[in-house]
Structure 1
Amino acid sequence: MSVPAANPRKTSGVRMLGPVDVTRLVQAVRQVPEAAWAAENAAKPNRFEALDATQHIVFRFVDSGRDWRFSHDRPAWGYWRGVLAPVLAAAVAPYGYARGVFPRVMLARMPAGGVIQPHVDALVAAKWPHKIHVPLLTNPQVVSHFGGAEHRFAVGEAVEVNNLAPHWVRNEGASERVHLIFEYYDADQPEPDWLAGFLASGANR
């Protein structure tokens, strides 16, 4: 079976979506105790070697890595939804989707000196939604490589990135980096022709 094609609406590099008010969300992130980070990270469903020492608090996640259309709230979503919802809505406003869906939503915390190794988001569930980052805490020595170029994303600047080509991150600064990372797609966009056949085949990718 051929490799499923990506959503043609996804960026092939980076797409700057504009500034977002992250004041309340940043305040909430700064108040998360170390024990809470450790507990949430231990329970996370996204365990990939490329993530190295990066910790996550996962709010929403797909039911299966084979299909982005079905997802669920995780326990932390109910507590955080009030501060997350305005940021999510503002970040995706440029798309103009009447029925947008967030299959995955999480915080990603990279320590000083941390590295996310070169990788692609290989699961089929990552091929259709837009992949969006909103930096919450960062420093000038955080370098993100997307779309064949290095970027230094500023706090509150929402950006869609190409997650299907090799990408990596280095935090060469003395402070941690925390991003809100999420996926987003248009529920009214016709599903790709390959999806039904892929699911029927039972393929893993």
Structure 2
Amino acid sequence: MVTTMHAVAPAAGVAGEGPVDEVARLAAVEESLIEQMRAEALGAPTRGVLAYGEYQSGGWWTASLMNHSACGDPHDVVIGDGRPGPTSLLEAMPATARFLAGLGLDFMYVRLARLAPNSFLWEHRDYAELHDRPRHRLHVPLVTNPSAVLVTAGTRVHMAAGALWRLTPSQAHGVCNVTGPDRLHLIADVYADDAYEALAAGAHLQEQDVDSLPTMTTEDRAGLLGRAEQLAGLGFPTAAEENLLRSYYRFALPEGGAYDLIAELHERRGADGEVRRWRAAKAHLLAR
């Protein structure tokens, strides 16, 4: 059995400036254990399933390690409350199973999540329908690269390997992997308890983790909308929309700002149905 004491240790370093309430390092994870879990994840017999299409550009794959499936199906990726059981995939990943058990946490759901190159998870919130119990999301990066970043509160954060990270998914956020290779994370949703609070006491960010995005100028906005209008006029409205959605990863926008840009694009085009659709998407994806 890998214990928390041996597998996970308080991360060294002084807390840095940045959105620590939204995303933070909690602890260091032994490199030898990362290597074992990485080998198990890369050797898994399934990539999982493409899920949450409304949140993404494509390229987001998930496979369950602990879920509420009666038969332990790793392709059941519906997140919900309750005490999960191991799937057949976790049963074939002994090092990962020992790591999870050694954390001593109260799990809600555990999965492998893969984000392919040139893929984006658009700005959204999670947990909007789950209010009865406090919960948190933990990440262990297994494969990553500098272009794979999380964006929240106008800040890019690269979740580096070798650490256990916490994300607060009830805050608006998005993820991108621009150049690749695949970004592969072990993700665990856990309920708040004394074991979690002890682990979270070490929450911090290091200076190299954080990069503030620039503010969008009037000229930037006009240029983005002008290029989007050109694309839409040439018959590529989806490409125009995705170009505007990607502005979330380039500029520090107000919450939902990328969706507002798309609504403005369609207002200029007189496409009232599309305006209503994107305003509804904004309300749905960013629901509190």
The one-character-per-residue Cα deviations of 1:9-68 (angstroms, maximum 9, x if unpaired) are xx73223112213110111122235xx21xx326xxx645214321111111257x8962
Aligned to 2:24: 15
1:181 aligns with 2:190: no
Distance 1:127 1:108, change over 3 A: farther
Total equivalences in the alignment? 164
Distance 1:72 1:85, change over 3 A: closer
Match of 1:61 among 35, 47, 67: 67
1:41 aligns with 2:41: no
Q: How far is 1:103 from its partner? A: 1.3
1:139 aligns with 2:152: no
Would you say the 8 A contact 2:68–2:83 is kept in 1?
Answer: yes
Q: Is the partner of 1:160 in helix, strand or coil?
A: strand
Amino acid at match of 1:88: L
Distance 1:14 1:126, change over 3 A: farther
The whole-number CA distance in structure 2 between the counterparts of 1:112 and 1:145 is 16
User: More helix per residue: 1 or 2?
Assistant: 2
Aligned to 2:236: none
The whole-number CA distance in structure 2 between the counterparts of 1:126 and 1:144 is 27
Distance 1:135 1:148, change over 3 A: same
Would you say the 8 A contact 1:143–1:170 is kept in 2?
Answer: yes
Q: How does 1:155-194 map to 2 (within 5 A)?
A: 155-186=161-192
Is there any run of 5+ residues in structure 2 with no aligned partner, and where? 1-19, 70-77, 196-287
Q: Is the partner of 1:174 in helix, strand or coil?
A: coil
Q: Is the partner of 2:84 in helix, strand or coil?
A: strand
Q: Is the partner of 2:81 in helix, strand or coil?
A: strand
Match of 2:43 among 11, 31, 39: 31
User: More strand per residue: 1 or 2?
Assistant: 1
How large is the Cα RMSD of the aligned pairs?
3.0
Q: Is the partner of 1:29 in helix, strand or coil?
A: helix
Q: How far is 1:74 from its partner? A: 2.7
1:87 aligns with 2:95: no
The whole-number CA distance in structure 2 between the counterparts of 1:140 and 1:85 is 28
Amino acid at match of 2:108: P
Q: Is the partner of 2:108 in helix, strand or coil?
A: coil
The whole-number CA distance in structure 1 between the counterparts of 2:98 and 2:132 is 24
Amino acid at match of 1:159: W
Q: How does 1:85-164 map to 2 (within 5 A)?
A: 85-88=97-100, 92=103, 100-121=105-126, 122-124=128-130, 128-164=134-170
From the CA coordinates, give the structure whose radius of gyration is larger. Answer: 2
The whole-number CA distance in structure 2 between the counterparts of 1:68 and 1:160 is 19
Is there any run of 5+ residues in structure 1 with no aligned partner, and where? 1-10, 93-98, 190-204
The one-character-per-residue Cα deviations of 1:93-118 (angstroms, maximum 9, x if unpaired) are xxxxxx63111100001101111111
Would you say the 8 A contact 1:62–1:103 is kept in 2?
Answer: no
The whole-number CA distance in structure 1 between the counterparts of 2:132 and 2:62 is 18
What TM-score, normalized to structure 1? 0.68
Aligned to 1:73: 86
Distance 1:127 1:173, change over 3 A: farther
